[in-house]
Amino acid sequence: MTNELKIPAHIGIIMDGNGRWAKKQGKPRIFGHKAGMDAIERTAIYAQKLGVKVLTVYAFSTENWTRPLDEVKFIMSLPIDFYSKFVPVLNRENIQIRMIGDRNGVPAATLKAIDRAAEDTKNNTGMILTFAMNYGGRAELLQAVKNIVKSGVEIDEITEQLISDNLTTSIFPENWRDPELIIRTSGELRLSNFLTWQSAYSELLFTDTLWPDFNEASLDMAIAEFSGRDRRFGGVKG
């Protein structure tokens, strides 16, 4: 174990526990999602201070459509309400906004708000904060396979690089596409279809903290744990 802190270039976060957080306070679930947005803001600002290059947050999965309609509608309205408040902060902090996921099915007003936030922050040169919206790792891979087949490429030309180039994370610079660290809050121990291809060598960190309670100290602890891990990528101990 080394004392030197290693900062992951790309961190993915599965933000879980908003509903339980709200319930603990006797409030409706949507109250937890609102508090979850504040947690995104403080985590993004701090991650960028630490030197993280890409922070991808799992905002809505391809499976989340089965939630009660009111809750789905509320989550889809969050970018609209929130970005007007959030974008000036991101511009002050030099953070860029992006989205990954399937745009089909996301309400037009939600897409418009996300696109506007991406446009308004596109000249920033700092960390990329990515919202995984209507995102599913299997759906993403399926789409990549379709694109590759449609392109008419020869079988021998299909490589891992080509697959990576056809995933939604190809919008990131090459070395930052795959998260080095994935954090899941609220004590659940699964990846739930998040960055399926890209997580092949990610370090996984599970914490009992509910997402709205996640803060600077939580990220410090996660990075300290990551720094102490021996990443061998299938090789032998050096």
Say whether residue 79 binds ligand FPP (CB under 6 A). yes
> What CA–CA distance (Å, rounded) separates 96 from 186?
27
Say whether residue 20 binds ligand FPP (CB under 6 A). yes
Say whether residue 78 binds ligand FPP (CB under 6 A). yes
What 3-state class would DSSP assign to 215?
A: coil
Do strands 10-14 and 54-61 pair parallel, antiparallel, or not at all (unpaired)? parallel
Phi, psi of 204 (to 5 degrees): -110, 135
> What CA–CA distance (Å, rounded) separates 67 from 172?
30
Is position 64 annotated as part of the catalytic site?
Answer: yes
Is position 165 annotated as part of the catalytic site?
Answer: no
Say whether residue 33 binds ligand FPP (CB under 6 A). yes
Among 131, 194, 214, 226, contact with ligand FPP (rule: CB under 6 A) = 131
Say whether residue 31 binds ligand FPP (CB under 6 A). no
DSSP state letters, 143-184: HHHHHHHHTT--GGG--HHHHHHTSGGGGS-GGGSS-SEEEE
Among 9, 11, 13, 15, contact with ligand FPP (rule: CB under 6 A) = 15
- CB of residue 22 vs ligand FPP: minimum separation in angstroms? 8
> What CA–CA distance (Å, rounded) separates 97 from 55?
10
* Nearer residue to ligand FPP within complex by CB, 10 or 29: 29
* Nearer residue to ligand FPP within complex by CB, 71 or 165: 71
Q: Which part of the chain contacts ligand FPP (CB under 6 A), choosing from 32-40, 101-109, 141-149, 157-165? A: 32-40
Say whether residue 130 binds ligand FPP (CB under 6 A). no
Sheet strands side by side (includes 181-184): 96-100, 128-135, 54-61, 10-14, 181-184, 203-206
Residues that bind ligand FPP (CB under 6 A): 15-20, 29, 33, 36-37, 59-60, 64, 75, 78-79, 131, 186
